[in-house]
Structure 1
């Protein structure tokens, strides 16, 4: 008797799966959300960081000194791979407006009589501004400005020391008594793709899974086909939900496993564990995300509310 009931349950499950597969293949929306968008997300996250470093960020220079020293500083900024000097401004107001329009993401101000103040040691100051609404870009610009301008900040001290007859070796020992040797663990090149590509892809992927799961269930009530769905599952809600979600689970699991091979293969993201275990965790992640979507759907009454909450 139990074997017969189990056979009926499996038959009902297969019928629900076939029904859902027909629904998926009959509308291009499902193809786009289940296959095209996840693959586009994977391609986007695999290529967005290029060689792993932020380079050629548009910046400007306001040179109010127009001396050999200021031109040397401008050349230093132009030579730094992080910067791409797109414009030289005649005053700070124009540079600020360009920064607010996001035509540039930072600018350096070389004040009047900078060279004279630097030579005499009377408080020469360089000021730089950067857009910090984008945290990663702002942090990169701040670090690049500091590293590029550090030798400039030390040049007045070097000039005064040389005028007093101090040797270059003594100056170096005085300015840099301890040399730091930095070796970042697990990401020695400070490659953005190593610690952003994989988690960012799965965040986007999770949102797509939640939206697809919620819509696939909610559309049954929206289009009045929930009765047919439950009837095909012989009134068993577990069979109905499992049969509806299983095709999506298989598609999403295939894309998730493909993403693991791409991220840890061609992208060379360091990975010291078992790839098989990572693939198993990916499948569990997808199933858990679908279960979360079912739970959210059971709490809120309308599909429009649910999609807003998920988003």
Structure 2
């Protein structure tokens, strides 16, 4: 009987099977940009570094596109008819102004704050609670963004103007009035809904003046399919004041920045399992051949 030895086929095939059976969510480098302070200086500096990380320059194009590398939303172009007291459509920035994002929340919807000149709405969500007009401030005049009935916003990415799921390489946001540490955060998810990490938005301790924070996280490749934003520890409410005995930290958002969304074809988990099984079977067959 002749014995033939192969040191490549079986182990190599099995290694490939293991490689393809695991979602590629590990070993992705991160760059984190964050800062906070009274006024806009600190947040602006961190935002500009994040802009450089994901690229696109400083000149905006159609639908908030910067050089085809980055998109931005500053809310100020939202018409009064889609601002408070009316809810903003969750897909406004993938249909009305197609920028590749759709929002969702456990709450009842989203609102963009009123601006000077809007007859029916006070600025900075003063329509919800008169106190908010002086608590919050717009980073880029004049509108802000918040979920209603919850302090959680999910941002899911699509190829702009389509229903095709997409991925981005980074996401960042400006926040207004982050008072407490380790409360407001960004959590990133990949195409398999696996967490890529949670990152805390910096706060300003003991500030009595209006203040801003920025947090942006970028990855080496487009891998983010969804971002969960937690703003403060409670939702805006007519009966809820900010810093009620240092218990409430109410936070709203201004500018969103993110890498251009690219399309992706992601196999279902069952497909990964079938692929792994098939490659494993090939490895077993190769091993048997060596023993013949």
Q: Which has the higher contact order (CA 8 A, sep 6+)?
A: 2
Query: Larger strand proportion, structure 1 or 2?
Result: 2
Assess same fold via TM > 0.5: no
Q: TM-score, normalised by structure 2?
A: 0.29
With normalisation by structure 1, the TM-score equals: 0.28
Structure holding more helix per residue:
1
